[in-house]
Copies of this chain bind each other. A is one copy, B any other.
Amino acid sequence: MADAVLFEFLHTEMVAELWTPDPDPGSGGQKTCPSVLESVGFRVGQALGERLPCDTPAFREELDVLKFLCKDLWVAVFQKQMDGLRTNHQGTYVLQDNSFPLLVPMASGLQYLEEAPKFLAFTCGLLCGALHTLGFQSLVTASVAALPAWAGGWLRDGRPWQSTQQVSPDARVLLGWSPSAGAEAFSLSERSLP
């Protein structure tokens, strides 16, 4: 069974070929467009979002969608379920992966932590694209608290996620969406995709 290995090798090569540092944020300190890697992830997520729910019941509640992300989508891509799911019941969701496969090969250390964003961009886009297909326009962010785990977040209603309030030293994924997020864009750690 080398499928997971194949995806990881492909992802590594995509990062090598497609990663470009985020451009300077605009006057409002917000990113104006997604990176190429995020866009690729977005389109792959859109396609997976169309394909996977065929076997699942209709998504009527946000919680159904979150379960789909944590189970079906994560298993399809990473062969594991998400390690944790929390919400503040105000549109912010926290999904935690303690052994994010795309960062597991990296050693821990500050110098590697600085390199981590390039290994998160595709997955941010992937989640955003899957949510878009399921009818939820979302803002997805990601950050790493400690290697080899990672954390990301998205917010409802376009409000930026305050990582200092919600991230503990261990790593987690934080997810949230807003159906009316519109064109609001975020800085490097708080991403937006159309």
A interface residues (Cβ-Cβ under 8 A, vs B): 1-7, 9-10, 13-14, 17-18, 36, 40, 43-44, 47-48, 51-52, 76-77, 79
Which residue of the partner chain, among B3, B44, B47, B52, contacts A4 with CB atoms under 8 Å?
Answer: B3
Query: Using Cβ atoms and an 8 Å threshold, which residues of chain B touch A9?
Result: 43-44, 47-48
Bound state CA distance, A85 and B52, in angstroms? 35
> Within the complex, what minimum Cβ distance (angstroms) separates A109 from chain B?
23
Which residue of the partner chain, among B2, B17, B36, B40, contacts A52 with CB atoms under 8 Å?
Answer: B2
Query: Using Cβ atoms and an 8 Å threshold, which residues of chain B touch A48?
Result: 2, 5-6, 9
Centre residue among A43, A52, A77 by max chain B CB count within 10 A: A43
Bound state CA distance, A9 and B4, in angstroms? 15
Bound state CA distance, A14 and B17, in angstroms? 10
Which residue of the partner chain, among B1, B17, B47, B79, contacts A18 with CB atoms under 8 Å?
Answer: B17
Which residue of the partner chain, among B4, B10, B17, B36, contacts A10 with CB atoms under 8 Å?
Answer: B10
